[in-house]
Amino acid sequence: MKVDRRGWLAWNPGRPHRQRGAHAGAERIFTIRTLTGPCDGRWFVCHLAERVTTNRSLSNRTGGKTMQIRQAMLAGSWYPAVASRCRAEIAAFPVGSDPEDQSHVVGAIVPHAGWYYSGHVAWDAIRQIGPRKDVDLIVVFGMHLPGYAAPVVMTQGAWETPLGPLPVHEAVAKAVSERFSCVIETTERFSPDNTIEVQLPLIRHAFPNASIVGIGVPASPDAAAIGRFAAEQALRHASGVRILGSTDLTHYGPNYGFTDYGRAANAIEIVKREHDLPMIEAMLALDAERVLRLAAEKQNACCAGAVAAAIAAAKVLGAKKARLVRYATSYERHAADSFVGYAAVCFERES
C-alpha cells in the first residue's frame, strides 16, 4: 500500500493489503473497497473496510495491569506512524508560539483530514488548550453519524498512537453509554474512524498524562444533551477536563456530488462565503441548534452532531465566547476540482 504525503492513494482496490502498526509487532490486514481521491475524510473516503485479522500483541502492561489497545488504523498514511516523525511534523506546523495563558480555553472545534491538509489547523487550536499540566481528561466528539443513528463509545481499554497509548476514562465512558444506549465499541470490534483518530497523536503530544473519552455523536436533537451529560460526568470524575469537537466543513466538487458553482477555481470563494462562513458564525455564537439546522440545509459540516455536543459541553465547562483560530481549505494544499473547508475554533471562559 502506498500513500503519499497528500493522502492520495496508489494501490489496487479490492486487494488485501498488510500494514505495520504504529507499535512493533502490530499487523493488520484490510480490504480496500472504494477509491475516490484525496483522503479528506467526509465519509471516510479511503474506506478501510474489512478488518480481517488483528494481532493481540498490542496489550500494554502498565502497573501490573494489561491494557488492551485499539489499533491506530491511519498511522503511516493520514499522519506519521513513528513518534519522532509525529513530533517533527507537529513542530513544523505553521502556527505561532503557545499563548502564555491557556487557562481560559476549555476546548475547541478542529478538522479531521490527513495532517498534510489540516493538521496545522487542528494543532493551532489544540495547542491553546490548557493549562497542559493540569489537563487529565479530554472528551472528543466526532464520527460521521446521521440523525437516526445511535451514539458510539468505547468504554474500556486505550487508543493506540505513535506517541504511546491514550487510556479510556472508563467511568465517564460507561456513564455516557448507559444514559444514551450507545453502540459499544471495543479494542477488537470497532469501525475505522478518522474523525477522532487523527486528533489522538496531537492530544497525546499536548497532554501526555490525560485519559480520553471518544464519543460518536449523531446529528440529532439529542446531540447537545449528549455533550452536556458527558461534560457533567467528566467534571464528577476529573479535575482538568477539556473537550474537542471534530468536523470538516463544506465538501465541494465531483467527489462529493456538489458542483452547483462550477469548477473549483470559480466556486471556492462562493463556497467559503455562502457555506463555510455561516457554519463558522454558528460555532462562534455557541449556537448548537443553528449548527444542526445549517448542516441539514447546506451540508456544510460533516459531523454536525459532534459540533453541537462540543458547544454544549463547552458551556458546562464555563465557555462564554468562541474565537476563530484558523480557517483553511484543501485547495490551498492541492488545487483539485474537489476541496474541503477546515476551521479551528476555541471555546473560552471570560478572562
* 131 or 149, higher pLDDT: 149
Q: Looking at residue 56, what is its pLDDT? A: 37
Q: Looking at residue 171, what is its pLDDT? A: 98
Print the SS3 string covering 82-144. CHHHHHHHHHHCCCCCCCCCCCCEEEEEECCCCHHHHHHHHHHHHCCCCCHHHCCEEEEEECC
Mean pLDDT of 175-186: 97
Mean pLDDT of 266-280: 98
Q: Looking at residue 51, what is its pLDDT? A: 36
The mean pLDDT of the chain is 85
What pLDDT, in 10s, does the model give residues 82-128? 999 999 999 999 987 777 777 899 999 999 999 999 999 999 999 99
Q: Looking at residue 102, what is its pLDDT? A: 77
| Rounded Cα–Cα distance for residues 242 and 126 (Å) | 10
Sort strands 339-348 and 27-32 into parallel, antiparallel or unpaired.
unpaired
pLDDT surpasses 70 at 34: no
For the chain, percent of residues with pLDDT exceeding 90 = 76
pLDDT surpasses 60 at 239: yes
Q: Which domains does the chain have, with CATH numbers?
A: 58-348 (3.40.830.10)
Q: Looking at residue 288, what is its pLDDT? A: 98
Print the SS3 string covering the chain. CEECCCCCEECCCCCEEEEECCCCCCEEEEEECCCCCCCCCCCCCCCEEEEEEECHHHCEEECCEEECEECCCCECCCECCCHHHHHHHHHHCCCCCCCCCCCCEEEEEECCCCHHHHHHHHHHHHCCCCCHHHCCEEEEEECCCCCCCCCEEECCCEECCCCCCEEECHHHHHHHHHHCCCEEECCCCCCCCHHHHCCHHHHHHHCCCCEEEEEECCCCCCHHHHHHHHHHHHHHHCCCEEEEEECCCCEEEHHHCECCCCCHHHHHHHHHHHHHHHHHHHHHCCCHHHHHHHHHHHCCCCCHHHHHHHHHHHHHCCCCEEEEEEEEEHHHCCCCCCEEEEEEEEEECCC
| Rounded Cα–Cα distance for residues 24 and 21 (Å) | 7
pLDDT surpasses 70 at 9: no
- CA-wise closest residue to 319 among 351, 294, 282: 351
What pLDDT, in 10s, does the model give residues 49-81? 333 333 333 444 445 567 899 999 999 999 999
pLDDT surpasses 80 at 269: yes
Q: How crowded is the C-beta side of 184, counted as CA atoms within 13 Å? A: 14
* pTM given for the model: 0.84
* 57 or 300, higher pLDDT: 300
Q: In this structure, how many other beta carbons lie within 10 angstroms of the beta carbon of residue 265?
A: 10
- CA-wise closest residue to 270 among 335, 339, 345, 344: 339
Q: Looking at residue 37, what is its pLDDT? A: 38
* 298 or 13, higher pLDDT: 298
